[in-house]
Structure 1
Amino acid sequence: MAADVRRLAATRGDLFDFIVVGAGSAGAALAGRLAEAARWHVLLLEAGGDPPEESLVPSLSSRLLHSQYDWSFSTESDHYSSQAQRGGALPLAQGKMLGGTSSLNDMVYVRGNPEDYKQWPMGWDWQTVLPYFLKSENMTDQNLLNDTNYASYHSDAGPMKVSTTDSNDSKFEELLEYMADIGMKTLLDINGPEQLGASKRYFTQSEPPSVRSSTAQSFLSPIADRKNLFVLKQAYVSKIIINEDNMALGVQAIVNKATLDFFTTKEVIICAGAINTPKILIASGIGPKNDVELLGVQLKSDLPVGSELLDHIVIPLVFTKDSDLDKNVSYPMASDINSTPTVHGFISSDSGTQPDFQVISSFLPKSSGLGYDLFYNKFNYAENIAKSVNNSNSEKDLVVFDIVLLHPASTGYVRIKDTSKSTKPKIYTGYFTKEEDFDSFRTGINLVLNITNTTSFGGVNSSLVKLGLPQCSNFDFLSDDYWRCYILNMGRTAYDLAGTCAMGKVVDSDLKVIGINKLRVVDASVVPSLPSGNINAPVIMIAERAASMIKQCYI
């Protein structure tokens, strides 16, 4: 980080106005905003430490996966879905450092569609939440800021830099043509007045040469010297301290092998994410009655904590095309996988304004090595699949279309085995437990397959790559049975985990935990239904709105 934040000299029994647990996408932003009130003493507890220098460099972020900076969660194999993943389990990257997942993700900045927020509780509609998106944003693209159609949808006054990439423009234009061929109009930005269409992607990073703009970098570093904000790193919160009147008094944390209690005069706010927040709540007696009592914990509030885990599901389609490499253009190699030309778009399968699919198209130049790196290292597919992609990539350019199901019917759940620090929660995705998700993906796949019949893509001798998928070897290639098998086995996570402490079920519309006083949850777990797109920007918006709510309560 550009500037370290103050480390608290941990003292048992210290008293604060607010205790924020988790310095991730939501927690760092929330703590930074609460500390704007100079008279409030805010304690921010983070299980990890400072992000390394690699976190700031977008092309190096993959080095942080499965390291000390990643919680390294993994799903339980259900021997049913995602069996093309190594071990049949999905690795779930979640940042364990200041900034949390915003310090290691792909930084894609997408707010979702206005229709999404009609499904959220009252007070979370699009017109209400848009100002909180704008509050954090510092858009650096002058084309958007100066365009009369887009200017009101963006801000350059917030702390978090948002910009687009400066990669090879000709390949961007080519990819946008392909997206247009499957029904997506070209937009300047999908975070503007229209979401149905395709555009270059925007990222939470500064203008080139790009530097990541995590919530730690954006909300904490600039106020490193503020005397009312205390940040305690390497502090694992094991439970919330709740009295007999169901009032949150503080938290218990493990710091340097010592167990320390910290207390609050106003509120405890849990921002530990869709996986860790359920663990903390259940360990504190808040959760399903049977789950809590099986752990030998006194029940405080019987709530469906850990239920209805939400995630966007991704299916890739890989196409070859004739190579037309321009030797005067510098293309990324395998070590720079995040810089490959990529566009994304949103499309509806009917006449509605809410998209059903996000389609991400990426260009992998011939002999780049990106095919293997992408499918094996980044997406965790089995080696035979990565090799089949690499073999095609060694001979031809590839275009990869990732089809993202934005509103799957299937949900998963998180279960807590025990409350010890070293025991990870059990995570079940629930992918394709609802039949309609198969039908939805067939629609999405057919939309993309139609591209081979178009002039721009079909004219370059394109063909669909048959991946090395032994689970589907008994089915005729491209048959209905083959596609069902392909969908079931190739489905992977978009890392948009949410919903395990949803509004209306575990917390109310003010994010207060039902049945417990002085306790809120502010993170992805409160999301009641998935927005159309990557979840990082909506999570930061939730933190901005929560900060405003809290200030209105106490100021």
Structure 2
Amino acid sequence: MHRRSRKQSGAFALVFFASLSPSIAQLHDDGRQAGLLFDYVVIGGGASGVPLAYTLAESGKEVLLLERGGRREENPSETLTIAGFGSALINKDLAQEIRTVDKAITHVSNVLSGGTAVSGGLQIEETPEYFEYLREEFGAQFDLQLVTESYAWVREQIAQPMGIPETYGPAYIASLQDLGFDPFVGPSPTFSVGSFNVFSQFENDGKEFSPDRRRFASDDLALGGLANPPGLPRRLKILTRQTALRVQFEKNEETGNPRATCVVYADSPDVLEPIDSRANAGLSAKGGKRDIAQTGRAREDGDVKRACIRAKGEVLIAAGPIFSPVLGMNSGIGPKDVVQKVMEGRGTEIVKDIPELGQNLHDRFASTIGVFFKKPIPEGGVPITVALAGGIKVVGDKCPEDFGITDTSLECTYVMSEEASGTDAVGLFLATRAIFPPVLRALPEVDFLVSLLTECLDKEDSIACAPLHPVFDCVRRVAAFISFPVVPKSRGNVTVSEWGEPILTAGYLTDEEGLDLNSSILGVETLLRVMGSGRFYSLFEKPGPLSCPTFIFNKLVDMLVIASRKLPFPGDIDTDSLPSFTAFLESHTNVTDTQGHSGRSDSFLQDALLWMELQKRKNDALKEGRDARSENDASESEWLGDQSPVAEWLREQVTRASAPASMPEGILDDLACDLVPSEECERRRQLRAATRFAAVPPLPTDVLDRESLGDFVKTHSVGTWHWTGSAAMGTVVDKEFRVMGLENLAICDGSVFPQMTRLNVQATYVMVGRYCGLLRKQQGR
């Protein structure tokens, strides 16, 4: 079939979305009509939900797609181009923060297109061997021909190779080859051992590397770019900013099984507040009954609506591996001991005991090291790349010849490496607080700094933000190297409180054998060896008093010091009336008295205004932090400012970062290695060479010490948002994605995979939406 060009698709997308809003408004009216029936109701317009709904509708079926968030075009700076990657996670209109029981921070997207609208955009397809493994190990059966067809359908419309910028790109690829990530196969949409040029959602504009390169997302698939004629299926109805509350069931008198009949939904709240799993689990004074639109509890009053299916129709849940189980439990299906409490509170009975729903949930724990391009940077800034190349290989001295695709042990495992450069790293750091050790992330001083930096992303002109301008300049020059366990073994879970509120346990690094920690340590070692390969000496900053890490940590200390001062002058000041920094300078420049002296000290006034601005933000951050903090963490709520553990830690980092680069210890070992070369000698040389670069987070003092690398992993690693497995095929759903023991209900998203893919999950999650829809088309349903 003739392929529509991406430029044509992009233009068509603009026309489509310009005309979509009126139809959505009309759909809101239609959705209130009693007795409106659909062949399919799809819950969740994300990576899987959009291609699923499109595929069902293209065969002429009446399909309703419910999405709790808005459209990408409502937040264009974060969702439509590559320049927006990173900042979306701190926009509450695009992503909802979740704090886990074990004090990790993650996010769930809140926008049509789901994670494909806010992610790093990697499109890495799995091999047939992966799906064979799922069948053999878990009984999860996929039609490989249909998988291949579905991958191709997605790739043709939203994927292309990431561009490779001059100098830096070849240097990174060469460093992978230096470390044995061979062969380099060039552009490849499919997972490949060795190294390869990764496919991406972001437009490839050749050598231009424009920050305005378009992001293709799952909503582009609804445009029918490969259809003849192209266009949105006439029978596909999309409702945005509508939150599904629960699925309704009735008993099939012939089979005795519960049968899904309708979906109850309501308008989404204007703002999705963070979810505190510890509070929802009863570990906080905040625990208790709350609004369903925030928590998942089915609301019995207010302006609720229903969408129902025809007798042979189907409700398909595609809300993602966290919220699909939550919706199920609020609908009466899931572990009996959990769901029974929810149903009792509503005065109804449990629908189906499914003990495995919400179990087997897993994500990856990623380690990232950021370095900084030297000035002067290229005109137009550092080229933005996200995984221009990926590398994966087996490491270990005792690797058997038949080492399997998902095997891992303390003696032999897979390691991988990816990169990103020129992205909005500030947003990622703020969303995860990864720059700070976990023990500090909930302290009020961190709340204050995160709040301040978040505001300054959009208001660099304000007095409070002016001192931070150079910090943002540094972050725009970041190149980040990333590694994570290829085959994570640790498991978490998702459940709900008696009020239906989500309770998420991440479970990072909890596998009994320590396999994930071992893989992570080897991954960090790999990143350090990439840095120390000798390919980047002319590109990245060295440590020293003028380095970016020194400046960043020093400025954060300054903000805490100023915010901790006592009142610098008497009297009350209305902080809301304070001028911007630009207005302040304009009003005080060249103001002198008759003697030629300046009037009141501009420096004093500037300091006073800055102090007032920071006081206001400190008070706001402290209030928000106290509201969110659990009873068990109450001791963390006291503001200590420049005398706090946060300030102490920051000062330590300033000292470490400002020390100039020196000849690494072990130079005699290096000379000996030159005489008698060995792989171990080269490994040690590369690890020590990595310390010649200024880095954030700060590198371990002893990069040769395995325990130090383990501490680095535990201190600075964060999740990858690759949540998988909470409604696994073989235990919760069958090979057609139908929830076992129920009728007319299916789950079609990343929840169904018992073991996540070996690299990025996104291409497979989009694929499975198409695949699930094609299965139903084949069956003539």
Under TM normalisation by the shorter chain, which class is it?
Answer: 0.7 to 0.9
CA pair 168-120 structure 1, distance change in 2 beyond 3 A: same
- Give the SS at the match of 2:238: strand
Structure 2 counterparts to residues 417-456 of structure 1, below 5 A: 417-418=497-498, 423=501, 425-434=502-511, 435-451=514-530, 454=533, 456=535
Match of 1:267 among 314, 327, 330: 314
Aligned match of 1:102? 116
Aligned match of 1:218? 221
Aligned match of 2:196? 199
Match of 2:130 among 94, 116, 121: 116
Q: By how many angstroms is 1:419 displaced?
A: 5.1
User: Does residue 1:168 correspond to 2:168, yes or no?
Assistant: no
Q: Matches of 1:62 and 1:310 in 2, distance apart?
A: 22
Match of 2:153 among 135, 138, 160: 135
Q: Give the TM-score taking structure 1 as reference length.
A: 0.81
Structure 2 counterparts to residues 123-522 of structure 1, below 5 A: 123-124=141-142, 128-138=146-156, 160-166=157-163, 168-185=165-182, 186-192=184-190, 195-208=192-205, 210-220=213-223, 226-245=233-252, 246-255=258-267, 257-265=302-310, 266-296=313-343, 298-303=349-354, 304-318=356-370, 323=374, 330-332=380-382, 338-339=384-385, 342-349=388-395, 350=399, 352=403, 354=405, 356-362=414-420, 373=426, 376-377=429-430, 379-382=432-435, 400-418=480-498, 423=501, 425-434=502-511, 435-451=514-530, 454=533, 456=535, 462-464=689-691, 478-522=704-748
Q: Matches of 1:167 and 1:46 in 2, distance apart?
A: 35
Q: Which amino acid in the other structure matches residue 376 of structure 1?
A: F
For structure 2, the 5+ residue unaligned runs are 1-12, 206-211, 253-257, 269-301, 407-413, 441-445, 450-469, 543-688
Identity value in percent: 19
Q: By how many angstroms is 1:60 displaced?
A: 1.7
Q: Give the TM-score taking structure 2 as reference length.
A: 0.59
CA pair 255-379 structure 1, distance change in 2 beyond 3 A: closer
RMSD, aligned CA:
3.4
Structure 2 counterparts to residues 73-84 of structure 1, below 5 A: 73-78=97-102
- Give the SS at the match of 1:296: helix
> Which range moves more in the overlay, 10-19 or 506-515?
10-19
Structure 2 counterparts to residues 18-97 of structure 1, below 5 A: 18-38=40-60, 40-51=61-72, 52=74, 53-54=76-77, 55-78=79-102, 88-92=103-107, 94-97=108-111
Q: By how many angstroms is 1:394 displaced?
A: 6.3
CA deviations over 1:156-214 (Å, ceiling 9, x no partner): xxxx221234452221101001111111122213435x701223332113343621211
Aligned match of 1:82? none
CA contact (8 A) 1:343 1:362 kept: no
> Which range moves more in the overlay, 339-348 or 513-522?
339-348
CA pair 510-187 structure 1, distance change in 2 beyond 3 A: same
CA deviations over 1:277-306 (Å, ceiling 9, x no partner): 111100111101101012135222221111
Q: Matches of 1:230 and 1:394 in 2, distance apart?
A: 45
The count of residues paired between Structure 1 and Structure 2 equals 503
CA pair 220-189 structure 1, distance change in 2 beyond 3 A: same
- Give the SS at the match of 2:39: strand
Point out the structure with the larger helix share.
2
CA contact (8 A) 1:319 1:463 kept: no
CA pair 15-328 structure 1, distance change in 2 beyond 3 A: closer
CA contact (8 A) 2:367 2:482 kept: yes
CA pair 220-274 structure 1, distance change in 2 beyond 3 A: farther
Q: Matches of 2:93 and 2:322 in 1, distance apart?
A: 16
Q: Matches of 1:341 and 1:443 in 2, distance apart?
A: 20
- Give the SS at the match of 1:134: helix
> Which range moves more in the overlay, 502-511 or 457-466?
457-466
CA deviations over 1:306-337 (Å, ceiling 9, x no partner): 1111112211245689x5x68666432xxx8x
Q: By how many angstroms is 1:98 displaced?
A: 1.5
CA contact (8 A) 2:366 2:717 kept: yes
Q: By how many angstroms is 1:218 displaced?
A: 2.4
- Give the SS at the match of 1:237: strand
CA contact (8 A) 1:376 1:383 kept: no
Q: Matches of 1:44 and 1:374 in 2, distance apart?
A: 30
Match of 1:16 among 21, 38, 56: 38
Q: Matches of 1:273 and 1:119 in 2, distance apart?
A: 23
CA pair 358-285 structure 1, distance change in 2 beyond 3 A: same
- Give the SS at the match of 2:65: strand
CA pair 226-129 structure 1, distance change in 2 beyond 3 A: closer
CA contact (8 A) 1:182 1:451 kept: yes
Q: By how many angstroms is 1:342 displaced?
A: 4.3
Q: Matches of 2:87 and 2:426 in 1, distance apart?
A: 12
Q: Matches of 1:23 and 1:95 in 2, distance apart?
A: 10
Q: Which amino acid in the other structure matches residue 381 of structure 2?
A: Y
CA contact (8 A) 2:189 2:199 kept: no
Match of 1:534 among 757, 760, 763: 760
Q: By how many angstroms is 1:457 displaced?
A: 5.8
CA contact (8 A) 1:190 1:197 kept: no
- Give the SS at the match of 1:137: helix
For structure 1, the 5+ residue unaligned runs are 79-87, 139-159, 365-369
Q: Matches of 2:326 and 2:66 in 1, distance apart?
A: 16
CA deviations over 1:479-520 (Å, ceiling 9, x no partner): 333222222222211111111111111111110001100111
- Give the SS at the match of 2:187: coil
Larger Rg over CA atoms: 2
Q: Matches of 2:735 and 2:120 in 1, distance apart?
A: 29
CA deviations over 1:329-366 (Å, ceiling 9, x no partner): 6432xxx8x547843222222464737233113457xx
CA contact (8 A) 1:168 1:341 kept: no
Q: By how many angstroms is 1:252 displaced?
A: 1.0
Q: Matches of 1:469 and 1:327 in 2, distance apart?
A: 22
Q: Matches of 1:428 and 1:295 in 2, distance apart?
A: 19
Q: By how many angstroms is 1:371 displaced?
A: 9.5
Aligned match of 1:157? none
CA pair 340-532 structure 1, distance change in 2 beyond 3 A: closer
CA pair 59-412 structure 1, distance change in 2 beyond 3 A: same
Q: Which amino acid in the other structure matches residue 187 of structure 2?
A: D
